[in-house]
Amino acid sequence: AVHSARGWRILLREEANARYLLALVFATVGMRMAGWIGHASFMGAIVAIGTATAVEITNTAMERTLDVIEPGHSEHVRRIKDIMSAAVSFTLLIYLAVMMAGIIQ
């Protein structure tokens, strides 16, 4: 629990994307409370944003690891980081699709 709490502090202090994802959680809860999305869409959105957060945390850890392993510019490292970023983007697209479906209903 200590390491997890320390990890969250590092993420929220140093990683803007982690703060954006947390803001999306609060926005999603607010939209549910306002009645803009139904229960099923809300649950789907929470699962999607949870997945996006987990992928972002993994992306951040991998990027930091690669920066230690290869501190200089490396085309291989850049490509790996781009692919990891695509994974984060994909999970956010799923979140957006769930939210749009929930709002349109």
- Local structure of residue 1 (DSSP, 8 states): -
Per-residue pLDDT, averaged over 57-70, amounts to 93
pTM metric for this prediction: 0.84
Instruction: Convert the pLDDT of each residue in 8-56 to its tens digit.
Output: 999 999 999 999 999 999 999 999 999 999 999 999 999 999 999 999 9
Query: Does position 105 have pLDDT exceeding 80, yes or no?
Result: no
pLDDT tens digit string along 80-100? 999 999 999 999 999 999 988
CA–CA gap between residue 48 and residue 63 (Å, rounded): 22
pLDDT band at 64 (very low <50, low <70, confident <90, very high): very high
